[in-house]
Amino acid sequence: MCFQKKSPTSTNTTATNAATTTEANVEENTYSFEEILTNLADTDGAKYIKVTVAVGYSSKNSKLKEELEDTKEDIKTPIMRDIIVNVLRSKKAADFTPTGIDQMKKEIKEGINPHLKNGQIDNVYFSNLVIQQ
């Protein structure tokens, strides 16, 4: 079981929410994808993004954990990965601002959640994000 706390590089919205909440910290499981390398939508030259993406969900939801980590059928990973790649490929390098990244995370979450049967993801995390221009 993998537990991951919110990274200090989280967006201001997440940091503000964490700072103002008085509830007890909810443990969160994460499911990480292999590194993603894809082109961006810029038309003024080839630009690429390389990023590692993880999704976060409540550690209390063991059924969602099983669904995400099911290696026997492994039907969710390609679907979720396709959603992530499509969101990233629709963006330009200039879209990678704090506000733009928040919007991308929201789009990824809204794209993935309808495909899940046993719960919803709550957060999307980017790490090792590199844009090559």
Q: The tokens 């919007």 sit on which residue?
A: 103
Supply the pTM of this predicted model. 0.78
What is the tens place of the pLDDT at every residue in 2-21? 444 333 333 233 333 444 33
Burial class for 26, CB neighbours closer than 10 Å (0-12, 13-18, 19+) = exposed
∠ at Cα 9 (115, 46), nearest 5°? 70
The single-letter DSSP state of residue 109 is: H
What is the tens place of the pLDDT at every residue in 69-114? 887 777 888 999 999 999 999 999 999 999 999 999 999 999 999 9
Q: How far apart are CA 83 and CA 89, in angstroms?
A: 10
Q: CATH class for domain 27-132?
A: alpha beta
Give the domain ranges of the chain: 27-132
AA identity, residue 63: K
